[in-house]
Every structure is written in structure tokens, then in C-alpha cells.
């Protein structure tokens, strides 16, 4: 791995932890950040000596800025920042709990922005680095049952694309990771809230492991080019179809009318 030091937000479990493990195994000094101290302690036990952890909630812009500044003073400027913090609460729009509507916006979209705003001045001053944000296949096309989640993840793609163009003159590279359904603790919780039509529509969708997603990201980092990172062959085919055959995608992703009560 070419990266000396990485900050991984949301790195205490799921995709973030798998990424942190891959980076640490490659010799990168890793700092994992999460709002759960118990999960951070468990992550450190898996990552071993040389890893660091800090507690922070990405929805708190001031706290993110303070933690990043303190870490830079303690361990140095990262040349890689990965933010995977986020969650999905599926359900029909008019039935979603208000707390989850604002929570997904605050965590998935604003949390991503807060991290980027906190680390960008340090990367710029250091002469460059890489920022990886995390969207989703649901950020590339709207999925019924995921109205708010799709909106937040589409926002992450748009934000990342704009940031890529804004930060490029400073030597800052931006990638956006767009995984499909992934077997994380968050996915297990998500499944408990999915409407029957959503579950039925996902029966034929391949689910990846966090390690498979992490491997795809590490491979993309090594290529030193590209922007959109879509793990899995089926997902890459879906992304191409979304881009070039939107009418086909629209027909395939409509909510089945015969199941509406």
C-alpha cells in the first residue's frame, strides 16, 4: 500500500472495519473513528498494535473538526481518509419515522460533508492525499422503499464529484464507493424494517461481504485513477445499465402495482 496513514470514519464495524484491516495489513498506520466506544475497543483488538481509535459522531461538525485537528497534532496528517459512517432505514415515505428521515440526512450526507470539511485543509497544506466517501448503488438510481436513503446517497455522489473537481488542483484525489447490499450489522437491522415488496425485489440481488467491498476499494486505490468504485461484477453491470439504459432500469425497479393495497 502506498498510504502511510489513514483515518477511517465508521471504522469500528462493517465495511469500515474491513477497510481498516486491509490497510493495516498493508502497513498503513490506521486510525478508526466511530461514535461507539465499545465497538472501537473491539476494532482495536482486531487491528492490533499500531492502530488508534477516537470516538466521534460525524453528525456533529464541531466535534469532527476538533477530533481531526487533535489527531493531526498527535499522529500526523493522513494521506488517506475513508468515511463509511451511515445507515439505511427502508420503508414507505409517509410511514418513515421522522427521526430516521433527519437521521439519514444528518449521518449519510451531512456527516460525509463534515468529514471532508475537517480533513481538506490538512490535506491541502500537506500537498495532497485521497478522500473516499461512501454512497451506494441506491445513490446511482432511486429504489422504491428507499426514498430518503437514495436521496442522501445520491447527494454523496454529487458532493463527491464536485469536491473532486474543486480539490484536484491541490493534489487531493476523491473516490466514491458504491457498494450493493453488504452483510454488515447495519444490513441485518435494515432487513427488519423492509416492506414485503422490497424483500421480494431483493431476492435475486447478490449480497457481498464487507471484505469483498474492502478488496474492491483497495484495488481502486492502487489503480491511481477513476472516481466511481462499484464492487462486484453484477453491481458494475447494473451501474452501466443505470447510466446507458435508464428506461430499462425504470421498468425493472418499479414497485409492483399488483402488490399495492
Just list the catalytic residues.
135, 149, 153
Residue 97: which region, alpha, beta or left (left: phi > 0; alpha: psi -120 to 50)? Answer: beta
The set of residues, in sequence order, having a beta carbon less than 8 Å from that of 233 and lying 6+ positions away, is none
DSSP SS3 for 208 = strand
Q: Is 70 exposed, middle or buried (0-12, 13-18, 19+ CB in 10 A)?
A: exposed
Give how far the C-alpha of residue 194 lies from the chain's centroid of Cα atoms, to the nearest Å.
20
Q: Is 162 exposed, middle or buried (0-12, 13-18, 19+ CB in 10 A)?
A: exposed
> What's the rounded Cα separation, in Å, for the pair 19 and 11?
8
For the record, the C-alpha cell of 48 comes out as 492490533
Closest CA to 6 of 31, 26, 27: 31
DSSP SS3 for 80 = strand
What is the length of the chain? 261
CA angle 46, 56, 180 (to 5 degrees): 65
Q: What is the DSSP code (8-state) at residue 182?
A: B
| Torsion over CA: 108, 239, 95, 182 (sign) | negative
**Strand-by-strand arrangement of the 172-177 sheet:** 52-55, 29-34, 5-9, 80-83, 129-134, 172-177, 228-229
Amino acid at each position: 500500500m502506498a498510504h502511510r496513514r489513514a483515518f477511517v470514519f465508521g471504522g469500528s464495524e462493517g465495511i469500515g472495519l474491513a477497510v481498516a484491516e486491509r490497510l493495516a495489513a498493508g502497513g498503513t498506520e490506521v486510525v478508526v473513528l466511530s461514535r461507539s466506544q465499545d465497538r472501537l475497543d473491539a476494532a482495536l483488538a482486531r487491528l492490533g498494535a499500531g492502530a488508534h481509535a477516537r470516538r466521534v459522531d460525524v453528525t456533529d461538525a464541531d466535534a469532527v473538526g476538533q477530533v481531526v485537528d487533535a489527531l493531526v497534532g498527535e499522529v500526523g496528517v493522513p494521506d488517506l481518509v475513508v468515511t463509511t459512517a451511515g445507515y439505511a432505514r427502508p420503508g414507505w415515505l409517509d410511514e418513515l419515522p421522522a427521526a430516521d428521515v433527519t437521521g439519514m440526512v444528518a449521518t449519510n450526507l451531512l456527516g460525509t460533508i463534515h468529514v471532508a470539511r475537517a480533513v481538506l485543509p490538512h490535506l491541502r497544506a500537506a500537498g495532497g492525499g485521497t478522500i473516499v466517501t461512501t454512497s451506494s448503488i441506491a445513490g446511482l438510481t432511486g429504489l422504491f422503499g428507499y426514498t430518503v436513503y437514495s436521496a442522501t446517497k445520491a447527494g454523496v455522489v454529487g458532493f463527491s464529484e464536485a469536491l473532486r473537481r474543486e480539490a484536484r488542483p491541490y493534489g487531493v484525489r476523491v473516490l466514491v464507493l458504491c457498494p450493493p447490499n453488504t452483510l454488515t450489522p447495519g444490513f441485518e437491522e435494515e432487513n427488519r424494517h423492509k416492506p414485503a415488496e422490497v424483500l421480494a425485489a431483493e431476492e435475486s440481488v447478490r449480497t457481498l461481504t464487507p471484505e469483498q467491498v474492502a478488496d474492491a476499494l483497495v484495488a481502486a486505490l492502487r489503480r491511481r485513477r477513476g472516481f466511481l468504485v462499484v464492487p462486484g461484477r453484477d453491481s458494475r453491470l447494473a451501474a452501466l445499465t443505470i447510466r446507458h439504459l435508464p428506461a430499462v432500469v425504470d421498468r425493472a425497479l418499479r414497485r409492483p402495482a399488483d402488490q399495492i393495497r
